[in-house]
Amino acid sequence: MKMRISLIAKLTFATSLILLVFMGILDSINLKNVRKVMVDYATSNAEEVANIINQSAYDTMMKNDKDGLYRMIRRISESNNIEHIRLIDQKGKVVFSNVTGEIGSVIGKHADECIMCHNSLRPGESTSPLNRSRIVTTRSGREALGFTKAIFNQPACITASCHFHGNNETVLGLLDISISLEMLRQKSHEYRLEFVVLACVLLVMIGVLITILIYRLVDVPVQNLVRHSALVARGDFVSRVSVSGNDELGDLSEAINRMTISLGTADRELKEWADSLENKVEERSRDIMRMEEQLRRSEKLASLGTLSAGVAHEINNPLTGILLFASILKGDKRLHPELLPDVQRVISETERCAGIVKDLLEFSRESSPQKENIILDVFLDEIVTFFHKQPDFNRIVISKKYAKNIPQVSVDPNQIRQVFLNLVINAGHAMSQGGNLEIETYLSDKGEYVCIDIKDSGGGIPEEHLERIFDPFFTTKSEGTGLGLSISFGIIESNGGKIEVKNRLGDGATFTVMLPLST
């Protein structure tokens, strides 16, 4: 498993490393400044000692008391901070030193002690205390501050009785003092140690504070975003990220919330689209099945029509002969009265067969519709008025629900009248004990057809009969031929319309006729 370093650890480590580098730089600068301050302080002390010795030298030399001067310098050199004191005359000869073996030696003009005079235009006058100081290494190998001060020719020295110096002599000699820097080095080391300890403490405290701040300001919001992302990945588009502040993470949280809302909207739209697509597929499947069923029925009607035409023509002539001779036999006085009912039965059955043959001929006849533009409301009112006068409809209440501004339809009025008469008669048969018949008109959803619903309140159509209801010769009546709805189906189809049935078992059936609009 790959090792994972948390964001808070990375930020803490990076911040601590940056602080450590800056503290190291600060320590270096600070140490350099402290050393400079201490060297300046040591130089100032060396100059004060030099001034004291210079003044003492002036006083003793005015008394011509060299031994007193040397004793005083020796006592000063016994101080812990004084490493080396010596007097150098004009010629570079060491006339006194706290190091006995050095007395009498000559120092060249290129030595550090002599540079301040030999490298200046006016020796000894243009050098500051800092320029007259230098860092040297003593014989013991320790670091020391070397300070050189010129002993100038005073007017009193020129006129003194003990010795004589000419007017052209500016510098009578040099006082060279070396002050130990060991104490300064120790103080610097102690200061640096204190600084490092303090820096480490501050680094730890800053690291802890940064860790806490990063945890509160960065890690917690980031963890919230991670948890929210996991919820969104599982499909939870209701959850929201709490906006922690008015900063970049707050803006990110608001952006994540807006993204979640957009994802939720897109998810709902996709689900609705999927449901709609599924419904459309189902609807299209039903349409295809309906079209296949209509095609199957059309093919069946065409083949049965051809067969029916042939059968009707073959049967019609014998039936006509039977009916003719039966009628003659009925009027023959030689017929025994007891045989008259039998002859009458032959006549009635022959007439019934003739009616069936007539229906077959009508079913097989493929006459082209003579289309006209008709006002459907007026057309339906004529049919309703016709049935109001029929005794079989005395117990049936016919109600009309016509939509306003229904456009005209282009159909063959005689053929369509036959269809509606057949549908209303069938509805009346389904309500033999009385009921409600409702005729409703409206436009289809796409505005292609005018729809006419004929609803009855009868017992409905059994489910097993729905698929065969438009088939030729299918009937549930004891005296029916089963050709009425088949003929109606063919007529509606030839006029460019459609006919459908919706069953409400126990609560009646609804036949929907869809007729094309006039152009």
Q: How many domains does the chain divide into?
A: 2
What one-letter code names the amino acid at 490?
G
Q: 380: how many CB neighbours lie within 10 A of its CB?
A: 20
pTM, 2 dp = 0.39
Judge whether 314 lies within some domain: no
Q: Which residue has the higher pLDDT, 460 or 155?
A: 460
> Rounded CA gap, 272 and 443, in Å?
27
**Residue 442 pLDDT level (bands cut at 50, 70, 90):** very high
> Rounded CA gap, 51 and 42, in Å?
14
**Residues 483, 418 contacting (CB under 8 angstroms):** no
Q: Which residue has the higher pLDDT, 162 or 388?
A: 388
Please list, in sequence order, all residues whose beta carbon lies within 8 angstroms of the beta carbon of residue 319, skipping any fewer than 6 positions away: 350, 353, 354, 357
Give the model's pLDDT for residue 216: 79
Judge whether 9 lies within some domain: no
Cα three-residue angle 281-287-290, rounded to 5 degrees: 140
Give the model's pLDDT for residue 4: 67
Judge whether 336 lies within some domain: no
Q: 39: how many CB neighbours lie within 10 A of its CB?
A: 16
* Least confident segment among 240-249, 403-412, 413-422, 478-487: 478-487
Give the model's pLDDT for residue 169: 65
Q: Which residue has the higher pLDDT, 213 or 129?
A: 213
Give the model's pLDDT for residue 229: 84
Mean pLDDT of 455-480: 73
Q: Which of 187, 210, 239 is the last residue of a domain?
A: 187
pLDDT tens-digit map of 89-116: 777 788 878 777 778 777 766 566 555 5
Closest CA to 516 of 403, 414, 410, 415: 410
Rounded to an integer, what is the distance from CA 103 to the centroid of its chain?
A: 92
356 pLDDT higher than 70: no
Supply the range of the domain harboring residue 420.
367-519
Q: Which of 158, 187, 216 is the last residue of a domain?
A: 187
146 pLDDT higher than 60: yes
Judge whether 242 lies within some domain: no
154 pLDDT higher than 70: no
Structure tokens at 346: 């032959």
Give the model's pLDDT for residue 440: 92
Give the model's pLDDT for residue 452: 92
The CATH number assigned to the domain holding 131 equals 3.30.450.20
Please tell me which of 142-151, 229-238, 349-358 the model is most confident about, judged by mean pLDDT.
229-238
Judge whether 105 lies within some domain: yes
pLDDT tens-digit map of 114-125: 555 555 444 444
pLDDT tens-digit map of 335-344: 778 888 888 8
Reduced to 3 states, what is the DSSP secondary structure of residue 134?
strand
The residue to which tokens 């459309």 are assigned: 280
Residues making up the chain, counted from first to last: 519
Q: First CA to last CA across the chain, in angstroms?
A: 77
> Rounded CA gap, 228 and 254, in Å?
12
Q: Which of 187, 202, 218 is the last residue of a domain?
A: 187
> Rounded CA gap, 306 and 317, in Å?
18
Identify the DSSP state of 215: I
Closest CA to 506 of 469, 463, 464: 463
451 pLDDT higher than 90: yes
Mean confidence (pLDDT) of the chain = 77
According to DSSP, the β-strands at 396-401 and 435-443 are parallel
Judge whether 79 lies within some domain: yes
> Rounded CA gap, 214 and 299, in Å?
81
Judge whether 355 lies within some domain: no
**Residue 126 pLDDT level (bands cut at 50, 70, 90):** very low
Judge whether 326 lies within some domain: no
The CATH number assigned to the domain holding 393 equals 3.30.565.10
> Rounded CA gap, 105 and 108, in Å?
10
pLDDT tens-digit map of 358-401: 665 665 555 567 888 998 888 888 888 888 777 778 888 888 89
pLDDT > 90: what percent of the chain? Answer: 3
> Rounded CA gap, 231 and 239, in Å?
8
